[in-house]
Amino acid sequence: MDDNFSNFSVKRQNIRTLSLVVCTLIYLLTGAAVFDSLESPTEDKNRRILLNQIEKFRNNFNMSDVEFERLYKHMIKKGNFNRNSQWEFGGSFYFCTLALALIGYGHSTPNTTIGKLFCIIYILIGIPISLIMFQSVGERLNGFLKYSIKILKTTKIKNFQFKNKSVSNKDLIVAESFLTFVLVLTASYIFSVYEGWSYFDAIYYSFITLTTIGFGDYVPLQKHYYLRKNPIYAAFTILFIMTGLTILASSTNLLVLYLVNINSEEKLRKRMRLKQ
């Protein structure tokens, strides 16, 4: 290969990478500034209210600062104050699903050393399996959608019929966005009913979950012993995660194929130019 040309191409790639890094950094700094201005005042206000409440509470019960500190540290901060069992089979299954889906709300985490060790080994083996699984099911979903859209496009409804009967990747992306949209809107409604969240909070929860961020500020199945007493709702919660991530895996699949195609086309063009 022409060394000059290759050098030029590497430089171009370096510039592309560098600008992406700078973009991300600027995006992070901007986000930080906005969140600071949005959340800091409420945080300050809440802290003041809280400290006031604690002050009152301590006065009521004639409790010293040290005693309250002990209460806080030993009884509550350790996060053990869960009336639900988190580690019975249902809870453990929920934990494993959240870990392998990379969501990890963190509402329950192993407390024993052996549990942590097993957790490390479990995810090191399990994450590749689950990623390949989502990827594979996502590919199948793409196939199924392609087939369905094809049927839709070739059916004559009254006098209307699609002119272009081939199914493009754009059609698939539109179908998947539509599916995600419907899934988020309906699932959020169900979550808002069962968990007592506002509809907006349930939508926020759905986004945070399906992006696999999983802050854990909203965690389903923590109330009313749902895990033990309402297996249908519990199954729905896990199915919501699985379905959502599968649809997203389908989109990623299309995107990767698209990028790889662009790459190989670029390489072809390069070769053509070199031959001239």
Residues 176 to 195 in contact with a second copy, rule: CB under 8 A: none
What, of a second copy, K ion, none, does residue 61 touch, CB below 5 to 8 Å by kind?
a second copy
- Tokens 């190989």 correspond to 264
Position among 11, 12, 143, 189 found at the interface with a second copy (CB under 8 A): 143
CA dist list (Å): 10 to 19, 64, 93, 201, 275: 14, 66, 47, 46, 19
CA distance 229 to 225: 6
Identify which of 29, 1, 9 has the alpha carbon closest to the alpha carbon of residue 21: 29
Could you say which residues in the range 102-131 bind a second copy, by CB under 8 A? Answer: 102-106, 109-120, 122-127, 129-130
CA distance 175 to 265: 27
Only one of the segments 86-94, 155-163, 187-195, 225-233 lies at the binding site for a second copy (rule: CB under 8 A); that segment is 86-94
For K ion, the closer of residues 139 and 201 by Cβ is 201
CA distance 130 to 97: 10
Only one of the segments 60-68, 155-163, 170-178, 185-193 lies at the binding site for a second copy (rule: CB under 8 A); that segment is 60-68
Q: Is 46 in the site for a second copy (CB under 8 A)?
A: yes
| 89-97, Cβ contacts within 8 angstroms, sequence gap of 24 or more | 90/227, 90/228, 90/231, 90/234, 91/227, 93/238, 94/221, 94/227, 94/234, 94/237, 94/238, 96/122, 96/126, 97/238, 97/241, 97/242
Q: Is 133 in the site for a second copy (CB under 8 A)?
A: yes
Q: Is 165 in the site for a second copy (CB under 8 A)?
A: no
Quote the least distance from Cβ 276 to a second copy, whole Å: 26
Beta strands in 133-245, from DSSP E residues, in sequence order: none
Only one of the segments 23-31, 187-195, 226-234, 267-275 lies at the binding site for a second copy (rule: CB under 8 A); that segment is 23-31
Q: Provide the 3-class DSSP secondary structure of residue 59.
A: helix
For K ion, the closer of residues 209 and 246 by Cβ is 209
- Please give the angle made by the CA atoms of 202, 206 and 212, to the nearest 5 degrees: 145
Q: Residue 256 is encoded by which pair of tokens?
A: 């990767």
Position among 1, 4, 42, 275 found at the interface with a second copy (CB under 8 A): 42
For a second copy, the closer of residues 161 and 267 by Cβ is 267
For a second copy, the closer of residues 118 and 178 by Cβ is 118
Could you say which residues in the range 62-81 bind a second copy, by CB under 8 A? Answer: 62-63, 71-72, 74-77, 79-81
The size of the interface with a second copy (CB under 8 A), counted in residues, is: 104
Task: Phi first, then psi: give them for residue 211, nearest 5 degrees.
Answer: -80, 0
Quote the least distance from Cβ 216 to K ion, whole Å: 6
What, of K ion, a second copy, none, does residue 152 touch, CB below 5 to 8 Å by kind?
none
CA distance 175 to 187: 18
Give residues in contact with K ion (CB under 5 A).
Answer: 104, 214
For a second copy, the closer of residues 74 and 161 by Cβ is 74
Q: Is 12 in the site for a second copy (CB under 8 A)?
A: no
